[in-house]
Structure 1
Amino acid sequence: MSEKEPLLKIRGIETHYGKIIALRGVDLDVHEGEIVTMIGANGAGKSTLMMTICGTPQASTGTIQYAGEEITRMPTHEIMRKSISQSPEGRRIFPRMTVLENLQMGAECAGHKDFSGDLKKVFDLFPRLKERQQQRGGTLSGGEQQMLAIARALMSRPRLLLLDEPSLGLAPIIVKQIFEAIAELNRSDGLTVFLVEQNAYHALKLAHRGYVMVNGAITMSGTGKELLAREDVKAAYLEGGRH
């Protein structure tokens, strides 16, 4: 897509859990302004890659560069100060805090440069959160919690947004809303997004480019359209998945 260096450049990454190899020589690029998705079955290693980018666990071998700087061995808190924001698998909001307080926590990394403007932006994106802003996070529905997790990540004004299984366990109508919000952020703000997903149909439809991961290794890559059209991808990941 671009001859410039990728915003996120991953080369030869291996990650171990003890003696188990979770990632096997992963190469991956995410260019500025792209939505890139990685699909794969549960347990393929997608979330491990996301966590390895964020420094926990650290890669055993290989390199991860962000905006031209190597971050492979950096501690997580330093990586997350580099305008990278993550909405993790399982949402992990602060359940005892209100929606507003969760969003304030997200804004801490941005130094509250324009808190009210940023707040308006996420409320425009997810109107349900505006209605629920004084409600405790733990009392929200699963879909509302996912919206809150993404909104909290956006409050830090990221240059790169990492989304780990944003559609997991949600009703199709909520999944559609969340994917539309991601597309709008990319279209209007040029936000760069790296998304890992089991919901291959929605993820590849959304993405400029995609990768397929099997047993910790990337087995295929291409544009979202190319991967959607492949018979082997359809057979493995898309049967019955067109919600």
Structure 2
Amino acid sequence: MSATMTQTPSAAAATAAPLLSIRGVETFYGKIQALKGVDLDVGEGEIVTLIGANGAGKSTLMMTICGNPRARSGQILYRGEDISQLPTHTIMTRRIAQSPEGRRIFGRMTVMENLQMGTVLVGQEHFEDDLRRVFDLFPRLRERAGQRGGTLSGGEQQMLAIARALMSRPRLLLLDEPSLGLAPLIVKQIFEAVRELNRNEGLTVFLVEQNAFHALRLAHRGYVMVNGRITMSGTGRELLSREEVRSAYLEGGHH
């Protein structure tokens, strides 16, 4: 794949400094370098996606933003502040929320208790309003409110993971592989909920996804990662039309 850069920020990104700006970030696991000088911007009010093959370094970047593992070099600027050396719990107080790969809900807790855990950093002041909001977004969770998280279907667990993140009232939502292992219909519901949050509330979303078709249709802009490097960027529509992207990530059909 050619290392082509297409500089076409969305209107949201063009009018203001990025909410999240990653510059020259390098991350290692022991002696193995996972991220190799990554540059990436997420503008306020944008949905930006990072696509790439399994093992390309996408989830490592997501975790590096959250401070675990820590970037060995480079800067991670959030609202102009370099957060690259802050402890994870401090980063999370900056109104950044993550819905991690593999969901990682509390299996023994009920849906309601999981949602309460999402308010730990912001308190209970807006709990009822926020509860209504996530139940409107994911009506299935209202029906399952008293059920243990571990007994939910995979799709319901993913909805719960996103809802729990939303309970912390984030300004930036980090979504790591939300479609992984889910049926196409559930994937469509989850991506529609993300679109709604962005459109109606202006929520900024940084999305890591293997499902390039859905991710690029949803996103304002996208980046392609290959072996820890950004090799391409552009609007979602541009990247969907690129032959290199189609052959590498969209062959074999999509739902």
Fold match (TM-score > 0.5): yes
Q: Deviations over 1:120-179 (max 9, x none)?
A: 000000000000000000000000000000000000000000000000000000000000
* The one of 47, 59, 68 aligned to 2:80: 68
1:114 CA drift (Å): 1.1
* The one of 202, 205, 215 aligned to 2:217: 205
1:3 CA drift (Å): 3.9
So what's the TM-score if we normalise by structure 1? 0.99
The question of 1:176 aligning with 2:177 is answered no
RMSD value, Cα:
0.7
Q: Deviations over 1:54-83 (max 9, x none)?
A: 000000110001011110100000000100
Q: Deviations over 1:13-69 (max 9, x none)?
A: 000001100000000000000000000000000000000000000001100010111
For 2:178, the equivalent position in structure 1 comes to 166
Alignment of 1:52-201 (within 5 A): 52-201=64-213
Q: Is the 8 A contact 1:83 1:159 kept in 2?
A: yes
Distance, in Å, in 2 between the alignment partners of 1:164 and 1:109 is 21
- Say which SS state the counterpart of residue 62 (structure 1) adopts: strand
Amino acid in the other structure paired with 2:177: E
Distance, in Å, in 1 between the alignment partners of 2:99 and 2:24 is 25
Distance verdict in 2 for CA 1:241–1:67, change over 3 Å: farther
- Say which SS state the counterpart of residue 118 (structure 2) adopts: helix
Distance verdict in 2 for CA 1:127–1:105, change over 3 Å: same
Distance, in Å, in 2 between the alignment partners of 1:79 and 1:133 is 29
* The one of 214, 237, 241 aligned to 1:225: 237
Distance, in Å, in 2 between the alignment partners of 1:63 and 1:150 is 27
Amino acid in the other structure paired with 2:155: G
Amino acid in the other structure paired with 1:55: G
- Say which SS state the counterpart of residue 109 (structure 1) adopts: coil
| Higher mean displacement: 208-217 or 110-119 | 110-119
So what's the TM-score if we normalise by structure 2? 0.94
Amino acid in the other structure paired with 2:80: G
Distance, in Å, in 2 between the alignment partners of 1:240 and 1:180 is 23
Distance, in Å, in 2 between the alignment partners of 1:241 and 1:63 is 38
Distance, in Å, in 1 between the alignment partners of 2:134 and 2:119 is 12
Distance, in Å, in 2 between the alignment partners of 1:116 and 1:12 is 42
Percent identical pairs in the alignment equals 76
Distance, in Å, in 2 between the alignment partners of 1:9 and 1:66 is 6
List alignment gaps of at least 5 residues for structure 2.
1-12
1:5 CA drift (Å): 1.4
Distance, in Å, in 1 between the alignment partners of 2:122 and 2:217 is 31
How many matched pairs? Answer: 243
Distance, in Å, in 2 between the alignment partners of 1:186 and 1:4 is 17
List alignment gaps of at least 5 residues for structure 1.
none
The question of 1:51 aligning with 2:63 is answered yes
1:241 CA drift (Å): 4.1
1:108 CA drift (Å): 1.6
